């Protein structure tokens, strides 16, 4: 199995009341980036990260060049590729 595409989409969820959590509180909206990783076998993996916007989406577009063609199950290998782009 190989990664064929990576997409990131920023989503904003409106809140009717503040959302409290261990690090503070979200007022009015909740912003996240949904990440989709597609494979050559048709599987799509989903993940999310806090925050979003053009800067978050552009980071995933930049990582795509390093990760397409690699096995998504080999997490440590992909972490190394992202952390050491010139290696």
**Residue 35: which CATH number?**
3.30.390.10
60-75 pLDDT per residue, tens = 888 898 899 999 999 9
Full residue range of the structural domain in which residue 35 is found: 3-83
Q: How many domains is the chain built from?
A: 1
Q: What is the rounded CA–CA span in Å between residue 64 and residue 70?
A: 10
CA separation for the pair 43, 25 (Å, rounded): 35
From first to last of its 87 residues, the chain has per-residue pLDDT tens of 999 999 999 999 888 888 788 888 877 888 889 999 999 999 999 999 888 888 888 988 888 988 999 999 999 988 888 888 776
pTM of the predicted protein model: 0.78
């Amino acid at each position: 199995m190989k990664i064929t595409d990576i997409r990131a989409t920023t989503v904003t969820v409106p809140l009717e009341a503040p959302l409290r959590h261990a690090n503070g509180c979200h007022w009015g909206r909740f912003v996240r980036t949904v990440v989709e990783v597609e494979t050559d076998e048709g599987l799509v993996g989903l993940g999310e990260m806090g925050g979003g916007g053009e800067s978050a989406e552009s980071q995933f577009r930049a990582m795509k060049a390093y990760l397409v063609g690699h096995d998504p199950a080999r997490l440590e290998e992909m972490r190394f590729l992202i952390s050491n782009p010139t290696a």
